Amino acid sequence: MKALIGLFQFACLGGGVVALFNGQWLGMIGSWLLAGLVGVAGNRLVRRVDGVSETGRQAMSQIPRSIELLRRGECRAASGVTRSMVSNFRMGGDKYLLPFAQTIHDVALASVNDAAGAETAVTEAKRLTAVLPPIPQVDVEVLREMQGLVERELRKGLPDADSLVREFLALDDA
């Protein structure tokens, strides 16, 4: 199925290149837009069949990487990785994984002293945790504890990055 969708998408892109060489600008734009729509539709179809979209699958590989970056104290890099992870889950439509990704992202934001961003992220994570169905592989109570940890630290003012990350990792390892 993925190969068929990819082949069709590739054919649309090829048709756009042919239209470009023939000076058919509208044909080129149309075929490239069609290729983009096929890509989005294919991503959603894969999510329906496999349970997670292709972009979500790629984002899932970033979870251990972001936690490892936090563990090593590279909070700025972890913030970038988690931002990418959250946007990939959103783009792929993997909403049930968003609360977990958003929670890691708010820890990373708080650890680089972005209090406003962390507060927005933790509010969004709490809202998603309450609204969406539970994540099969994640204990929701641990997720709520992580969100409460960030909220508590943000209420105190700018959190100490080392202690925040240390407490988060302790909860993550539990």
pLDDT above 60 (res 137): no
- pLDDT at residue 77, as a whole number: 93
Please identify which residue in the block is written with the tokens 């909220």. Answer: 151
Asked if 57 and 67 count as a contact pair (C-beta separation under 8 A), the reply is: no
Q: Which two tokens stand for residue 20?
A: 């470009």
3 state SS of 21: helix
More confident residue, 36 or 51: 36
- pLDDT at residue 95, as a whole number: 78
* Side chain identity, residue 164: L
Please identify which residue in the block is written with the tokens 């069609």. Answer: 34
Q: Predicted confidence band at 37 (pLDDT cuts at 50, 70, 90)?
A: very high
Q: What's the whole-number average pLDDT of the chain?
A: 84
Q: Predicted confidence band at 17 (pLDDT cuts at 50, 70, 90)?
A: very high
pLDDT tens for residues 106-131?
888 888 888 888 888 888 888 888 88
pLDDT tens for residues 151-160?
888 887 766 7
Mean of the pLDDT values across residues 122-149? 77
